[in-house]
Amino acid sequence: MKKKILNLGLSLVGPIALIVMLTMPIGPLSGGLGIIAPTGGIFDVGYPEPALQTVKLPGLDANVEVFFDEWGIPHIYADAVTDAYMALGYLHAKERLFQMVMQNYLAAGRISEIVGSYAASSDRYYRAIGLARGAEETYQWYLENRDTNDDIAYVLDIIDAEVAGVNTFIDSMTSATTPIEFKILGFTPQPWRPLDIFIWTKMMSWGLVGGADDLYREYAKTTIDNDTMYNDLFPDLMPYNVPIMPEQHNLSLTGYPNSAGGFPADPTPPPAANLASESESLIPIGKLKTLLDTIDDVILPFEVREGLGSNSWAVSGALSETGNPILVNDPHLPLQAPSLWYEAHIAVPGVIDVTGVSFPGIPGFVIGHGDHIAWGMTAAGYDVLDFFIEQANPDNDSQYWYNGAWREFEVVDEMIHTTDEGDIAFEVKWSVHGPCIDSVMDTFDLDSTQSPNIAMNWTGLDITHEILALSLLNKAKNITDYYDALYWWDSPPHNFIYADDEGHIAITAAGRYPLRTGYIGDRPVQALNDSVGMLSNIPYAYIPRSVDPSQGYLQSANQRSYDPETYGYDVIGPYDIGYRGRRINYLLNTSSSVSMDDMKRWQADSVDVSAQWIVPYVIDAWNAAGNGNATVQLAVDWLSDWDFSMETDIQAPTLWRFLVDALKYEIFDELRITPDANLRTPSTPVLERVIRENENYYLDDHSTGDVETRDEILTRALFRALDEMVLKLGSNITDWYYGNFHVIHFDHLASLTVIGGGPHRGWNTLNRAVSSWDNEAGQWRVVAGPSWRMVIDMGDIEHAYGVYTGGQSGNMFSQHWDDIFDLWYAYDEETEQYGYHLMRFYPTLTSIASADLSEPFVERRITFVP
Amino acid sequence: MKKLDDVFPHFNFPKLVLVIAVIAIALQLSGAWVTMFIAGALGALLTRRHRTAFFAGFIGVAIAWSAIFIYLSLIAQALVIAEFFIGLLGLSGLGWLVIVISVILGALLGGFGGLLGRSVVELIDELMPIETDSEETPIQDEQRDSESEPDA
């Protein structure tokens, strides 16, 4: 008997060891090695989709039919809007659940719950800025107003439907449908909530507009300590800017007496702030720098630190080849895998017929077209975010001074849960102005108060209605509907371009524009009472808007939208540097009959306008120098032969990128004040202005006893650029083709794989390629660009074109993982266009079935049943 | 009450491996690798030696998982997924190794399941009261005794 028991004991050793081995986290494999079993693990995700499928979706009123076209894009046909959105929610989750969870956890400050404590700094940040709290308040507002406003009831209905669809998928997940990322990370997704939708919409607003520009301005201004130089080198309005709005179009103040979103408005601008009242050095420079560094480390899903980007333009029928308006949009966002976008088409007879791109997990289309209208978006870049330095009580740092009395900070206790280091507790102090964002860092030794006191206020922190605006825009039939929909866009401003089949074109820099009283808002201020602050707003009727302009076209590329000489209000902002706006304005202004092909060609346009203006001065300087250096002469010959297009098969674009840096280095020697100052260099239009206007003060190198001329400095920059190129690219200069060093390469959200890897055209061009030098790879990596390209002729809405940087499926083993990226990336030298797919737009089940019969394109079908 | 070894027949090795492989395929369709212990343990009912139970479980599950992987490679991109997985560890071109490791792990599950199963069977049989009206021949008793000796 003892022997048998001993045998049993010994026989248990192996199974126990195996169970431990197969369940224990190993490195990134939090799910353990058991996931490599042939079934029940990673190998379940490689099955093809069935051609015909019936899926039970409890809560539907009637069957919903979904046809997937050759790109995996669903065309959803339902009898009720809620049914359609329930199906969309299911498909969002089925294709992108991991992405939805990651993005939402990031926005809610919970990403450490998935990826571990290394992301805790991001969680601290997002909790500190209060996105989840703002989302909760916004959701409550919707619930409270559901019974009194049909539009709000409509939005909540589709939100509930989306959530129900997502949760039906989560509840029905099998090993085959569970995203591989969850298996690897050993994570089980929680049910989706309506609140999650509001959290992500807050993130959308924050990511495109939020940031710490005010803090940086304070840092730069304090460090430079010369107001004239600061204003010369870091102007709010870029030189040579072409504004978006050619003619301001106001609506009736009677019709829209309030600001966007129903906030109070004042048609009269407040008196200009007294600059002298804005004292500098409110924040110790060490604390400011630490705070900026902390913010730099935060994971940002939307913001592109290297610069804004997005293009949109529209021509009226008078300028188009077809006689109908044509609308174009390409929003430039960080490139990621899976893409931020999920494309779909929803048709509910008599209610909605809309196609375009949506955010997974969010009901509705951000950009697209209906049966009568089309719209697109670009970030407007207005500064609607301020920092207020609270005066903390030296005897009690839980208090601050406001309206003549000490007032208690509200303290919000936050707890960050991590997968590897337990819980991390910290608190966020809130003043009357907003959350103190320096709660994210330890201020000890950096600040006499030793307590968070930099409060942040931005319009997105309030109750906002962006999802209501988009929902109404998705149903809009005409320009009046467009005005009514955008009335609710009270988030930080975005340019909404518009065209319809009645011949109208329009653009509105929609959003809530705070009117600041007692301060400017470009840098942190102290506001010790309620007479200083964002006390009112520009009326919606008067925000920057242009409708059917006499020039026959509209364009926007993130530049300052209005002409300060003619617009009645002054609003600051971190606008784009303006070269893309100048380029598209030139192209449209010099064309009389624009075709769809022209539009596609221009979306691929890679002419660098800054090079067009600056390079001739450099060539002239070299020629004037009479230097016989053969290597430099060869490089100058590249520039001389160049058409300024950032193509991959020539060397000039490579040289140009190094030359820009070298020019800024040589010209702006004034900013090399201290080696660790870490000041950004002035933007390229400022460089252009200094060179074109021959601004001697900045051209001169103040570190020498001599006075250098422009030609001397430009020649010196040429040598510096080439020296740097040899250092970074090697001495084989004939190999310096742009395509060898400028590649598109973007990561999966959990860095499990990549998309891309090939040479890529463009830079700060219409075909935007935001790229930064990767020392390890020895290349510029393109990290952001046209995330979605769309071209629509309003007279032929069935033949609109679109393409984005990815594929419909979040499953990296699906044929639709990156097939649309391949189309997006394929540049045709002959047509000078990138690839697009037809945005199939059949209004009824019968029409899509009939079209498929004559030319098969339907890849599979799902019938959702109650 | 009869002992388990009296109830279940004794299979020769190839037959035992085949039975375990079939059971393993059926159980693995549940998606739970832990069921491979069961496949091995069930196989242990059909042999009388620990060593045989281990190796039959090992080879039976190895065959089962190999068969599933062949199927998955043909219709569900198993090799592509394996290549992706090994890529996470910084290796490339070694996707087949993931499948080999997986099969070995499955085989060990089956083998240890067999070993454990055999030990459990023998303990249960040991605990059972001896039937007085046993019709077993002395030869059968002798055979059982010799086969129930542990191998290790």
The nearest alpha carbon in chain A to B148 belongs to A4
**Coil, helix or strand at residue A54:** strand
Contact criterion met (CB < 8 Å) for A813 and B106: no
If pLDDT is split at 50, 70 and 90, which confidence band does A703 have? confident
Contact criterion met (CB < 8 Å) for A43 and B34: no
Which of B27, B51, B69, B102 should one mutate to test binding to chain A, selecting the residue with the greatest count of A CBs within 10 A? B102
pLDDT at A340: 94
Contact criterion met (CB < 8 Å) for B77 and A812: no
Two tokens, residue A211: 């940031």
Q: In what order do the strands lie in the sheet with A423-431?
A: A410-417, A423-431, A434-435
Contact criterion met (CB < 8 Å) for A753 and B30: no
Does B147 reside within a domain? no
pLDDT at A206: 81
**pLDDT tens digits, A80-111:** 999 999 999 999 999 999 999 999 999 999 99
Distance (Å) from the C-alpha of residue A35 to the closest C-alpha of chain B? 9
Q: Helix/strand/coil (H, E, C) string of A466-518?
A: HHHHHHHHHHCCCHHHHHHHHCCCCCCCEEEEEEECCCCEEEEEECCCEEEEC
Contact criterion met (CB < 8 Å) for A38 and B108: no
| Residues of A in Cβ contact (< 8 Å) with B116 | 8, 11-12, 14-15
If pLDDT is split at 50, 70 and 90, which confidence band does A210 have? low
Lowest-confidence pick of A8-17, A20-29, A108-117, A594-603: A20-29
Two tokens, residue A618: 């450099």
**Which residues of chain B are modeled with pLDDT < 50?**
134, 136-142, 145-152
Q: A300 phi and psi, to 5 degrees?
A: -120, 120
Lowest-confidence pick of A44-48, A84-88, A227-231, A283-287: A283-287
Q: Among candidates A574, A492, A559, A570, which has minimal Cα distance to A212?
A: A574
pLDDT at A734: 87
Cα distances from A487 to residues A204, A470, A835, A861, in angstroms, run: 18, 11, 35, 38
Which of A33, A39, A181, A753 should one mutate to test binding to chain B, selecting the residue with the greatest count of B CBs within 10 A? A39
Cα–chain-centroid distance for residue A296? 16
Distance (Å) from the C-alpha of residue B121 to the closest C-alpha of chain A? 10
In terms of C-beta density within 10 A (0-12 exposed, 13-18 middle, 19 or more buried), how is residue A269 classed?
middle
| Domain span including residue B86 | 4-129
Does B145 reside within a domain? no
The mean per-residue pLDDT over the stretch A235-252 comes to: 93
CB-side neighbour CA atoms (13 Å) of A46? 21
Q: Is the peptide bond before A675 cis (omega within 30 degrees of 0)?
A: no
pLDDT at A399: 93
In terms of C-beta density within 10 A (0-12 exposed, 13-18 middle, 19 or more buried), how is residue A536 classed?
buried
The nearest alpha carbon in chain A to B122 belongs to A4
The mean per-residue pLDDT over the stretch A493-497 comes to: 95
Give A274-336 as a DSSP string: -GGGS-S--S-HHHHHHHHHHHHTS--SS--TT---EEEEEE-TTTBTTSS-EEEEEEEEE--
In terms of C-beta density within 10 A (0-12 exposed, 13-18 middle, 19 or more buried), how is residue A727 classed?
exposed
Tell me which residue in A3, A12, A45 faces B81 most closely, judged by beta carbons: A45
Ordered by where they begin, the domains of chain A are 55-207+343-364 (1.10.439.10), 609-644+651-736 (1.10.1400)
If pLDDT is split at 50, 70 and 90, which confidence band does A737 have? very high
In terms of C-beta density within 10 A (0-12 exposed, 13-18 middle, 19 or more buried), how is residue B152 classed?
exposed
**pLDDT tens digits, A383-440:** 898 999 999 898 898 999 999 999 999 999 989 999 888 899 888 999 999 999 888 8
What percent of chain B has a predicted confidence (pLDDT) above 70?
A: 85
Which of A2, A10, A43, A748 should one mutate to test binding to chain B, selecting the residue with the greatest count of B CBs within 10 A? A43
The nearest alpha carbon in chain B to A5 belongs to B123
CA distance A356 to A404: 53
The nearest alpha carbon in chain B to A751 belongs to B88
Does B125 reside within a domain? yes
Tell me which residue in A18, A33, A753 faces B112 most closely, judged by beta carbons: A18
**pLDDT tens digits, A800-810:** 999 999 999 99
Total domains, chain B: 1
Contact criterion met (CB < 8 Å) for A7 and B123: yes
**pLDDT tens digits, A249-303:** 999 999 999 999 999 999 998 877 655 445 666 788 888 888 888 777 766 665 5
Answer yes or no: is pLDDT of A827 > 80. Answer: yes
Q: Is B5 on the interface with A (CB under 8 A)?
A: no
Contact criterion met (CB < 8 Å) for B72 and A38: yes
Tell me which residue in B34, B65, B81 faces A813 most closely, judged by beta carbons: B81
**pLDDT tens digits, A309-343:** 799 999 999 999 999 999 999 999 989 999 999 99
CA distance B107 to B20: 11
- More confident: A565 or A46: A46
| Residues of B in Cβ contact (< 8 Å) with A46 | 72, 76-78, 80-81
Distance (Å) from the C-alpha of residue B148 to the closest C-alpha of chain A? 10
- Are A561 and A244 a contacting pair, CB within 8 Å? yes
pLDDT at B151: 45
Q: Among candidates A591, A671, A681, A716, which has minimal Cα distance to A224?
A: A671
CA distance A823 to A827: 8
CA distance B82 to B87: 8
Residues of A with CB under 8 A from a CB of B: 1, 3-5, 7-8, 10-12, 14-15, 18-19, 21-22, 27-29, 33-34, 36-48, 175, 180, 184, 752-753, 812-813
Does B146 reside within a domain? no
Residues 72-111 of B with CB under 8 A from A: 72, 75-78, 80-82, 84-85, 87-89, 98, 101-102, 105-106, 108-109, 111
**pLDDT tens digits, A601-616:** 999 999 999 999 999 9
pLDDT at B152: 38
Answer yes or no: is pLDDT of A488 > 90. Answer: yes
Termini Cα distance of chain B = 29
Phi-psi region of A178 (alpha: psi -120 to 50; beta: other; left: phi over 0): beta
CA distance A230 to A233: 5
CA distance A702 to A229: 14
Q: At what angle do helices A131-145 and A194-209 cross, to 10 degrees?
A: 130
Distance (Å) from the C-alpha of residue B12 to the closest C-alpha of chain A? 22
Q: Is B119 on the interface with A (CB under 8 A)?
A: yes
Q: B80 phi and psi, to 5 degrees?
A: -65, -45
Answer yes or no: is pLDDT of A450 > 70. Answer: no
Instruction: Indicate the average pLDDT of chain A.
Output: 92
Tell me which residue in B80, B113, B150 faces A7 most closely, judged by beta carbons: B150
Q: A827 phi and psi, to 5 degrees?
A: -100, 125
The nearest alpha carbon in chain B to A4 belongs to B123
